[in-house]
Structure 1
Amino acid sequence: MTVSERTIVLAGATSAAGLTLATTLIAAGARVVATGRSAERLEPLQAAGAQVEVADGTSLSDMQSLAERLDQVDGVLPLVGGWRGGGGLAGQSDADFAALLPSLEAVRATSRAFDAALQESDAGRFAIVSSTAVARPLAGGANYAAVKAAAEAWARAVAHGFAKTARDSGAPLRAASVIFRVKALDASVLTPAFLDLWTKDAAELNDGVRDLS
């Protein structure tokens, strides 16, 4: 299997990493659907050949509406993120915590909206970008590590759902949920790892944590 002719949704793709991912996926023969809240910021993705959709990756209703409009979805990668922290435990403000929550909200919204489509695909892949901070949280990054840990727990629940559906139906497992842990987001490392998800069986990938640091 390869990513060629697969439909891949990149939610919150207006960052430099999103553009790199989209460009590489398109070059590999994939159909990329890139979402963002700003039409202007989506223009480089459209110029690269992606189908762009003005939609909020943290909104379940926006993602469900998009899922209904797409004829197939084989991969989903939420890219909503960012970092705020420092100052030890005393410096872990409520404002910083609230600013970090959209990354978790995007994981929840996209996984719920595209769950059926990914399980209908013969090689559905859901992936999230987490952090090595989950394994070794520091006081100055407690907000960040806690949100990433919650996102990992959600992604593992997605994996359990994929496995349970396959088991209950007596069908082979075709969908996989995967966690990528990074020290810092490097598109040149993340991109090949993401493409590699279509070279392996779902049973090998599902509920896996891949350290890209």
Structure 2
Amino acid sequence: MKTIVLAGATSASGLAVTRALITAGMRVVATGRSADRLQPLADAGARTDVADATSLDDMIALAERLASDGLTVDAVVPLVGGWRGGGGLAGQSDEDFAALLPALDAVRATSRAFDGALRASDAGRFAIVSSTAVARPLAGGANYAAVKAASEAWTRAVAQGFAKTARDAGEPLRAASVVFRAKALDAESLAPRIVGLWDADAVELNDRVIDLE
């Protein structure tokens, strides 16, 4: 049974992905900062853990707890998001930029904390949800597009790290890092894409940017 960590999963998307993964026979570990907000995920069958997806310390501690329980982590998907924008370039405030940065923080913290676990898995997967705004940024969404672009760059660096580790060890590539881009995130379209992360070999999947329709 594959174990999937959904970090920052207390959103409609987190619940939809959780239900889809459990229906597919996978184990879900869902994190959030509020036990109350995690309850619907627990009701859906997920193992829940109160932990901050943007905190490297929290994510390392979670990785260590799962390892001590004998669980091999097969995928990590940070789902911290949000949008702020409008007002043209002049309206791109420092406050809005700071409010958007946790999405990047979560990508960095989760990928670093679980890097070893994903490389040790028979088919490790790291995936983020980005935006089509990266390809066509608008002045009124410059803060948002910049954070998403940075998240994509980090995720592609994770992909290069997976490939280099396999190459240096003379082993086949088993782990893959993927970017999903959405114009407007639809939880029901994201869920099957996460479930389908193992439909392709890591060599085909690693470092791909996939548009969600």
TM (normalized to structure 1)? 0.97
Opposite residue 102 of structure 1, the aligned amino acid is P
Moved >4 Å (runs of 4+): none
For residue 7 of structure 1, what is the aligned residue in structure 2? 3
The whole-number CA distance in structure 2 between the counterparts of 1:188 and 1:47 is 19
| Partner residue in 2 for 1:62 | 58
One-letter amino acid of the counterpart of residue 94, structure 2: D
TM alignment of 1:120-139, pairs within 5 A: 120-139=120-139
The residue type equivalent to 2:21 in the other structure is: L
Secondary structure in 1 matching 2:189: helix
1:208: Cα distance to partner? 0.3
Instruction: Give the structure 2 partner of residue 33 of structure 1.
Output: 29
Identify the residue that residue 159 of structure 2 maps to in structure 1: 159
Pair 1:119 & 2:119 matched:
yes
Deviation, 1:193, is: 1.1
SS state at 1:64 partner = helix
Gaps of 5+ in 2: none
How many angstroms apart in 2 are the aligned matches of 1:20 and 1:159?
Answer: 26
Would you say how many aligned residue pairs link Structure 1 and Structure 2?
Answer: 209
- Identical-residue share of aligned pairs (%): 76
Deviation at 1:210, TM superposition (A): 0.2
Residues of 1 paired with 2:9 and 2:129: CA distance?
A: 13
Q: 2:13 aligns with which of 7, 17, 29?
A: 17
**Following TM superposition, by how much is the alpha carbon of 1:196 offset from its aligned partner in structure 2, in angstroms?**
1.2
Listed one character per residue, the Cα deviations across residues 126-155 of structure 1 (whole Å, up to 9, x for unaligned) are 000000000000000000000000000000
Letter in 1 for 2:17: L
The residue matched to 1:74 in structure 2 has which SS?
Answer: strand
1:43 aligns with 2:39: yes
Any unmatched runs of 5+ in structure 1?
A: none
Tell me by how many angstroms 1:195 deviates.
Answer: 1.2
Matches of 1:99 and 1:201 in 2, distance apart? 36
Distance in 1 (alpha carbons) for counterparts of 2:171 and 2:93: 47
Q: Deviations over 1:40-59 (max 9, x none)?
A: 00000001110000000000
Instruction: State how far apart, in whole Å, the 2-side matches of 1:23 and 1:190 are.
Output: 12
For residues 106 and 96 of structure 1, what CA distance do their matches in structure 2 show? 17
By how many angstroms is 1:111 displaced?
0.2
Please state how far the C-alpha of 1:36 moved relative to its aligned partner: 0.1
Report the counterpart of residue 90 of structure 2 in structure 1: 90
1:186 equivalent in structure 2: 186
Aligned-partner Cα distance in 2 for 1:20–1:210 = 19
- Look up the SS of the partner of 1:76 in the other structure: strand
What is the Cα deviation at residue 35 of structure 1?
A: 0.1
After superposition, the CA RMSD in angstroms is 0.5
